[in-house]
Chains A and B, each alone.
Chain A
């Protein structure tokens, strides 16, 4: 099992999708290779669901919840992280299981890209 310090990889503040992606990139290869990964949140303080969407939520596109229960573990999770993390997983499950919902979100994203 590989243990990764979230604080070492992204710092104390876990808010943005970019930082979430950074964490995801650190462990995704290990996970795909069949290794068990433990994310240790010791020393982290601030959490926003956008961070967990990229750090964790996108895994639901390739793995089931049951698979992830034993492959991706979480340690020393601050109380402030539990709700955004759980919401992010719920949202991801809907996103990857409902094609109509995913298509609607992709439509918003493409129009957003044209605006900015």
Chain B
């Protein structure tokens, strides 16, 4: 049994590298590992979602994971207990209602359950005072990510999520992680081997995937990734969108979008959406008694 000393995993980019390093060390082969949190002083929601998925990936590969719950610092104990992560993995304390958005894991797509999660545990907590129609639009937009993870990425352990409301910043976050093939891999396959050199850099692949009308969803039925829809929504809402997939990263805000290549590598996709809680930021369309989309 190998001991994994879970590091401090905050929002700093270096900590993101540490997170993906855990995947490189433990997520690619059969391994028996014990998670020791004695060196961990902060665990952001992104990391909680990622760790949960990593545990399921280890188990999928025939390995096992043991948690040393007693090594948790009090604040991290409270975080992992409150969001339900601790209970999910057999820990000693169950969740309670706070500012955490509960830990989510769906091995298979369950649209109704995800809709309930997004409405009741994320947006519907009163942190975002929005018109019901607007709430539906946001849930649908995030639902694009959720559905993509199942229909597009081929994640063997499904989708994992977690979030947090930060009252002092008026920001509501939600992270969804899948351990599928990743966006760059899909884009490269779409363009074929003849142009492999052009699509070598993952940041270029991400930029392509977020351009309107581009999709790698195949089959006999046309596909629209919906990533451009998500980006447009984030821009309209003054929020931000952060995507990690393979060695590439994109950070999107209304005033600037930055695609970059990082030293870190993770074969999957992690998307974090951050919304401003002030409803004044949002623009709402209107329902249509009759609608002519053609």
Interface residues of A (CB under 8 A from B): 11-13, 15-17, 19, 45-50, 53-54, 56-58, 60-61, 65-66, 68-69, 72-92, 94-96, 104-112, 115-116
Decide: A105 near B223, CB < 8 A? Known: A13-B115, A72-B294. yes
B133 at the interface (CB under 8 A from A): yes
Q: Of all chain B residues, which has the CB nearest A76?
A: B289
Contact B221 A53 (CB under 8 A): yes
- Chain B residues contacting A79 (CB-CB under 8 Å) are 133-134, 136-137, 284-288
Cβ contact within 8 Å between B215 and A15: no
Inter-subunit contact A108/B286 (CB<8 Å)? no
Q: Is the CB of B111 within 8 A of A16?
A: yes
**Would you call B213 and A50 a contact (CB within 8 A)?**
no
Interface-central residue, B109, B217, B228, B289, by most chain A CB under 10 Å: B217
Closest to A50 in B: B147
User: How many angstroms from the CA of A58 to the CA of B144 in the assembled complex?
Assistant: 19
CB distance from A72 to the nearest CB of B (A): 7
Closest CB in chain A relative to B236 CB, distance in Å: 11
Please choose the segment from B13-21, B95-103, B188-196, B201-209 that sits at the chain A interface, where 4 or more of its residues have CB less than 8 A away: B188-196
- Chain B residues with Cβ under 8 A from A90's Cβ? 213, 224
Q: Can you sample 13 A-B contacts with CB below 8 Å?
A: A15-B147, A47-B143, A48-B140, A50-B144, A50-B148, A54-B221, A68-B294, A84-B144, A85-B293, A94-B213, A94-B222, A104-B218, A110-B218
**B290 contacts A by Cβ under 8 Å:** yes
Given A16-B109, A82-B285, A105-B217, A91-B189 contact (CB < 8 Å): no
Q: Pick the contact of A17: B134, B154, B221 (CB < 8 A).
A: B221
Question: What distance in Å separates the Cβ of A94 from its nearest Cβ neighbour in chain B?
Answer: 6
Q: Which 8 A-B pairs have the closest CB atoms?
A: A109-B218, A95-B222, A105-B218, A91-B224, A80-B136, A79-B285, A15-B111, A92-B222
